[in-house]
Amino acid sequence: MKTKKISIWLVVAAAALMLAAPGSSMAGEVYKTALSLAITGPTSDAGNPYSKGAEDYFRYVNDMNLLGDDTIECTIRDDKYETAITKRNFEEFLDMGIVFYLNYSTGSTLALKRDFDEVKMPTLPASFHAGNIEGSDYIFLPIASYSAQNIGLAEYVVDHHEGGTPKVAMYVHPSAFGREPVKDIEKAIEAGLDIELVETVEHGQDLDVTAMIQRWRSKGVEYVISQTVQSPVATMLKGAGNLGQVAESFGEEGKMTFLGAHYTGGNDLIALAGDAAENFYWTTSYIVTSEPGAGAEAQLELAQRYGRDEKTSNSHNYANGIMVAQVTTEVIRRAKARGNEINKENLYQELLEMNGMNAFYPVTTVGPVTYSKDDHQGVDTLQLYVVRDGAFRAEGKPFISEYAEKIK
């Protein structure tokens, strides 16, 4: 890669070298971390690019000597979205001596929550389920929770709907990942969010969504908010398109406007759904490569450096994997700069102090990463995107969900 092609990452590198203690006694050490996730099996369409993002950023850290002579060794294993495999992987990672851990699914994060606390392991999951951090001292969400994302979408509906109370259906993954945020939507409605939740549907294996779309139409559903992954959303959008039910503008009368949270959208959805993805509204805390900016440029350069294909390079889940690797690297860098030993206790402390003037700006997100003892949700800010002419474009400015704060 040409020198000019790595500019944005070198900004981080320069800061690291300036803050690292020269002649540190820890020079040349290897810091072990690990990632267990679904590279194959259910939700692997998200897990696969996620794993590559984390792998590439850690490779970059080592190749560019961002931690001086020290390096990060991240062991990445496929758990096929099976909690039993995740648990076995985690136990073996502990035996390896990891100091920081990256988990994946909602189910395994909830199942291992007590394990993480018992061994006092700072953990960042790929799951943004709000329940992950309830009653846990050691789990930290990378970005705004699924609940904040879904409620934020509902708030956008309320703010831009013309007429009375908007009628909304939810289309969710048949797991805790999909179901749990619905409960928080219901709490937000009780707190005053003015939508009517007409129906919640867990998608199955049946690719014929005609009956579901027609039933929603008969019930007057105007908006559909999805909390799942891209594949079933693409199937739904194609089915709705074939029935002529996709709104061509937000809130078009007599049609349905489709919206979704982080794992439903991104360029992967457009690749799967084609023209049917047009006018799909989507929210996440990550940047996208279809919107020019420093983060998009850095993501594409990293992918090019390590030979990733176009699909991976432009995936928001590739950015997702990069971001958790960035946070891991940053807490190690900060602990080194203080002259502290790199262990799980000191890295945990660095997470707790990542706020205020110590907030972290990774460029892969639309807002800063902040944590504290009482705040385990990294990036609070969300950005709404909408598909226009085959690409996700930013709609409005980044925002923070009002009702997600109210129901805490």
Give the pLDDT of residue 55.
98
What is the CATH architecture assignment of 30-144+291-375? 3-Layer(aba) Sandwich (3.40)
List the strands of the sheet with 71-78, edge to edge: 71-78, 30-37, 100-102, 123-124
Q: Where in the chain is the domain with CATH 3.40.50.2300?
A: 30-144+291-375, 146-284+384-407
Q: Can you give the pTM of this predicted structure?
A: 0.90
Sign of CA dihedral 270, 273, 275, 281: negative
% residues pLDDT > 90 (the chain) = 87
pLDDT digits (tens, 9 = 90+) for 8-36: 554 554 444 434 444 444 459 999 999 99
- Give backbone dihedrals phi and psi of 238, rounded to 5 degrees, phi first: -65, -40
End-to-end CA distance of the chain: 46
Pick the CATH number of 146-284+384-407 from 3.40.50.720, 3.40.50.150, 3.40.50.1580, 3.40.50.2300: 3.40.50.2300
pLDDT digits (tens, 9 = 90+) for 233-292: 999 999 999 999 999 999 999 999 999 999 999 988 998 999 999 999 999 999 999 999
pLDDT digits (tens, 9 = 90+) for 63-84: 999 999 999 999 999 999 999 9
Q: Residue 139 to residues 117, 319, 332, 374, 406: CA-CA distances in angstroms?
A: 8, 20, 17, 12, 22
Q: How far is CA 286 from the centre of its chain?
A: 7
Distance CA 203, CA 254 (A): 24
- Tell me how crowded residue 27 is: count the other CB atoms within 10 A of its CB: 14
Strand 223-227 relative to strand 257-260, pairing: parallel
The two three-digit tokens of residue 300, written as one number: 């594409």
